[in-house]
Amino acid sequence: MRSEYLFTSESVSEGHPDKVADQISDAIVDLFLGKDAEARVACETLTTTQRVVLAGEIRCKPVFDEDRWPEHHGWAPGARDEIEEVVRGVVKRIGYEQAGFHWKTFEFANHLHGQSAHIAQGVDESGNKDEGAGDQGIMFGYACDETPDLMPATLDYSHKILERLAADRKSGAAPFLEPDAKSQVTLHYVNGKPVEATAIVVSTQHKEGYDSGAGEAELHAYVKRVVGEILPAGWVTGRTAWHINPTGSFVIGGPDGDAGLTGRKIIVDTYGGAAPHGGGAFSGKDPTKVDRSAAYVARYLAKNVVAAGLATRCTIQLAYAIGVARPLSLYVNTHETGAVDDAVLEQAIARVAEARLGGLTPKGIRLGLGLNKPIYGTTAAYGHFGRKAEGDLFPWERTDLADALKAALAPAATSA
């Protein structure tokens, strides 16, 4: 690793058009899982000026069953109305009441339909066949000791800046803000540790009159104060470059300013570019889809490695084939920061996962982490990782495997 460098990550707010789409898709996942823990959901959302469109494949008998309700084209009576109500509720919670995108008046189209039988036959558990992965693919998990959340600092603070803006907008502390916003944090690293913010970019949608004069000055002063309160003391200096709404006016925003789609912010959702990404998005997918569940368990394992003091950085890769239960590979890289050899750590992780989760099969991950619950709406803005594990929420952020990993490695550490 270089001893000194600059690194940058970005985040987007809950009002960003792609994040509006993500939150709607995950609200549909939560709706279906709340009715059937074994529901299958692959929901994609398009948002644009005064329009929201859903598309994708589902299986959830209390909501959709082609055999039971043929006269309703598979839908339970009232189900389509309930879906629309959930969608509008998401947009209302975010805060869109604008002429170009209003929660009450946008046009809505629902094109969800039944899951492919050919996909179902590969995924479903039957006879002597274990539940298979919902698709092929590679998934990565990552953790590092740059922040208390064990996340890359550039991304962690980018998220937190936008979370504060949203909270202040909703509380009335910053009434000039509107929902759409982006942030970007560039940090100076010395010997692998962040020491200074060299550049801050914040672009936030605002009410009329805050792009010049006293209004602009108020907005700029507010953003600088928030960033100063969120970043560690001493990181903002006289050398920090500020870019606040650098294009000028930002009144037209959200889906009215740019179309949004589910799954277009996968780097924002994960590690801000500090670690590899397998390519699969998370939002809109039930936990049989390993794009989601295996990425969560890879983060869980990597975080526990760092929390146990076994490395200061850890990347884990898992690979799956559609319809096949067990992962094709498990790869661990501690980036030359590990207390033991990476190959030894791989073996310990596999043993602990088998003992505590029932293995790294899709079923083992789902049951071991408790993923068959309506817990996904909160994941769809401000990152899926680095969040607080509380109750059923964000179980992959727990560090309850740290002692088990240390115990599994005790003979290796002693011999080393």
- The answer on pLDDT for 303 being more than 60 is yes
In a domain, 176, yes or no: yes
Q: What is the pTM of this model?
A: 0.94
In a domain, 36, yes or no: no
The verdict on 329 and 249 lying in the same domain is no
CATH of the domain at 219: 3.30.300.10
- The answer on pLDDT for 120 being more than 70 is no
The verdict on 200 and 316 lying in the same domain is no
Q: Phi-psi category of 78—alpha, beta or left, where left has phi over 0 and alpha has psi -120 to 50?
A: left
The verdict on 293 and 411 lying in the same domain is yes
- The answer on pLDDT for 204 being more than 90 is yes
Q: Which of 203, 229, 253 is at the close of a domain? A: 253
Q: pLDDT digits over 338-382, tens only? A: 999 999 999 999 999 999 999 999 999 999 999 999 999 999 999
CB of 113 closer than 8 Å to CB of 269: no
Confidence band of 410 (pLDDT split at 50, 70, 90): confident
In a domain, 89, yes or no: no
User: Which residues have a Cβ under 8 Å from the Cβ of 333 and sit 6 or more positions away?
Assistant: 314, 315, 316, 342
Mean pLDDT on 222-247: 97
CB of 98 closer than 8 Å to CB of 254: yes
Give the gyration radius of the chain's Cα atoms.
22
The verdict on 203 and 305 lying in the same domain is no
Residue 243 vs residue 411, higher pLDDT: 243
Instruction: Say which range, 63-67, 74-78, 344-348, has the weakest mean pLDDT.
Output: 63-67
In a domain, 336, yes or no: yes
Sign of CA dihedral 46, 52, 55, 57: positive
Q: Which residues pair with 12 in a beta bridge?
A: 182
Q: Which of 206, 230, 253 is at the close of a domain? A: 253
Mean pLDDT on 164-177: 98
The verdict on 222 and 332 lying in the same domain is no
In a domain, 16, yes or no: no
DSSP assignment of 288-354 equals TSHHHHHHHHHHHHHHHHHHTTS-SEEEEEEEE-BT--S-SEEEEE-TT--SS-HHHHHHHHHHHHH
Residue 416 confidence (pLDDT): 46
Residue 136 confidence (pLDDT): 86
Q: Which of 209, 230, 253 is at the close of a domain? A: 253
Per the structure, the complete domain to which residue 197 belongs is given by: 4-11+154-253
**Whole-number average pLDDT of the chain:** 93
Find the Cα–Cα–Cα–Cα dihedral 61, 37, 23, 316, rounded to 10°. Answer: -130
Residue carrying structure tokens 């068959």: 372
Residue 123 confidence (pLDDT): 57
Find the Cα–Cα–Cα–Cα dihedral 384, 387, 391, 395, rounded to 10°. Answer: 50
The verdict on 363 and 320 lying in the same domain is yes
In a domain, 211, yes or no: yes
The total of structural domains in the chain comes to 2
Lateral strand order in the sheet of 241-244: 4-12, 177-190, 193-206, 241-244
The catalytic residue positions are: 16, 18-19, 44, 57, 182, 250, 258-259, 264-265, 285, 289, 291
- The answer on pLDDT for 414 being more than 50 is no
- The answer on pLDDT for 292 being more than 90 is yes
Residue 117 vs residue 391, higher pLDDT: 391
Residue 116 confidence (pLDDT): 66
- The answer on pLDDT for 100 being more than 70 is yes
The verdict on 208 and 244 lying in the same domain is yes
Question: How do beta strands 107-114 and 101-102 pair?
Answer: unpaired
In a domain, 45, yes or no: no
The verdict on 376 and 395 lying in the same domain is yes
The verdict on 199 and 233 lying in the same domain is yes
